Amino acid sequence: MGKNPAHHKILVIHGPNLNMLGTREPDIYGHRTLKEINAALKAQADRLGLHMETFQSNHEGEIVDQIQQARDSFDGIIINPAAFTHTSIAIRDALSLLNIPLVEIHLSNTTKREAFRHISLISDIVTARISGFGPRGYLLALEGLTQLLTKPEGPALVIQASEDSNHEKP
């Protein structure tokens, strides 16, 4: 921690159904595809001087495997566990193995949705949470994670939009 951003490796993990962004419930998740979100993340990582990799899976075990493999090779993780946010003790346990900053991200404001979406099984173990900003939330997560890695003395951060919309405005 506290080193030059150019030396930091960031892993972004996208959970189930996020491969369907752009067509899946656009009134909630917007019209941007996961490919477009990843391209924007890559451009931002390049501007910040970070090495970044992305991973998406609809399968809990594959996400757990990816988290475990990240243990010795990444300096921080941004994760949108999607539906697994509310159900996966396995993902929680895998994240608990890590001693690196973790940022939980959600496209929608989960507290303004169905009651079961109000519960995150990882919220108490992540360093920061961002929800409700649509695809822009990923960029906020990357910027925040960069600050955590270069200036780790800050407090935990929760960023949550007050309204739930597709947030596709520039």
Q: Taking the domains of the chain in order of start, what are their residue ranges? A: 5-160
pLDDT confidence band for 37 (50 / 70 / 90): very high
CATH no. for 5-160: 3.40.50.9100
Q: How far apart are CA 123 and CA 104, in angstroms?
A: 7
pLDDT digits (tens, 9 = 90+) for 91-113: 999 999 999 999 999 987 777 67
Mean pLDDT in residue range 33-40: 97
Give the per-residue pLDDT at 139: 96
Q: Give pTM, 2 decimals.
A: 0.85
Instruction: Name the active-site residue from 14, 106, 138, 167.
Output: 106
pLDDT band at 167 (very low <50, low <70, confident <90, very high): very low
pLDDT at 168: 44
> How far apart (Å, rounded) are the C-alpha atoms in residues 84 and 122?
10
* Sign of the alpha-carbon torsion through 5, 102, 13, 76: positive
Active site residue 138: no
- Per this entry, what is the length of the chain? 170
The tens digit of pLDDT for each residue in 56-72 reads 999 999 999 999 999 99
Residue 29 annotated among the catalytic residues of the structure: yes
Helix locations, the chain, DSSP H: 26-29, 34-48, 60-70, 89-96, 136-150
Catalytic residue (one of 8, 14, 29, 138): 29
